[in-house]
Amino acid sequence: MKQTTCGSSLLYLVPAILLLSCQVTLASGDGVMDRISGAVEPFDPMQVESAYILPVKTVRAKKSSQGGTFRVLARKDSISRFRCSVCHTDKSIQVRNGSLFTHADIKINHGKEEDGLSCTDCHNEKEKDYLVGKKGLKVDFDHSYQLCGKCHFRQKSDWVGGAHGKRVKYWAGERVINNCTTCHDPHSPRFKKRMPATFSLPLDE
């Protein structure tokens, strides 16, 4: 008889202890949901980060648009003869017409004939591994768009906003676009005229 009374007492005692512990937990604000909401930041659909690693080298543009920051394809990795300072040292050049042996493949056709550019208009004479602007601005080759935009400012404005050039990676997250020199040969930037690859037939009326 005593064992039955003791067992029935335990049946009432255990739920009472559990109920009391739940009330203490809720009162302290340290419940499971409170911990989850405190540890996880609210999801912002406009701040999507891609989980994929870029297959090409990029640099963050030193210019931002209304859509925020963006990345540009790096330039130096695609220049076969970079670094320039490997050959362009302080030593005097001993051969005649040395540029014909090294840069004969470069034809400068940039600007109007009476106001065409020369090598030193863009290339830094003192620091060969950099470009240079008219006012002495030192420009990294990876950020060559800075130099292009000094003259082609309208195209640069369109490029920053996404209306000029090409977006090559990512619609979600930080966009990646071509550098100016990815499409345009800096020494001869104008595209040759050509016939369209396809054409449209007139619609039947």
Q: Mind listing the pLDDT tens digit for each residue in 125-181?
A: 888 889 988 788 889 999 999 999 888 989 999 988 888 988 888 776 678 999 998
Backbone dihedral angles phi then psi of residue 167, each to the nearest 5 degrees: -90, 125
Of the ranges 71-80, 152-161, 180-189, 195-204, which one carries the lowest mean pLDDT score?
A: 195-204
* Residue 68 in domain: yes
Q: What is the pTM of this model?
A: 0.60
* Residue 23 in domain: no
Q: What is the mean pLDDT of residues 92-117?
A: 76
Amino acid 133 reads: G
Amino acid 54 reads: L
Backbone dihedral angles phi then psi of residue 177, each to the nearest 5 degrees: -130, 165
Of the ranges 8-12, 45-49, 175-179, which one carries the lowest mean pLDDT score?
A: 45-49
Residue that wins the pLDDT comparison between 124 and 118: 124
pLDDT over 70 (residue 41): no
Domain that holds residue 155: 58-86+96-183
Please state the domain count of the chain.
Answer: 1
* Residue 172 in domain: yes
Find all residues with CB under 8 Å of 82, minimum gap 6, and list them: 76, 129, 141
pLDDT over 80 (residue 40): no
- Calculate the average pLDDT of the chain: 75
Q: What is the mean pLDDT of residues 90-117?
A: 76
* Residue 10 in domain: no
Cα–chain center distance at 18? 56
72-98 burial string, b = 16+ CB within 10 Å, else e?
Answer: bbbbeeeeeeeeeeeeeeeeeeeeeee
Query: To which residue do tokens 């990029």 refer?
Result: 58
* Residue 47 in domain: no
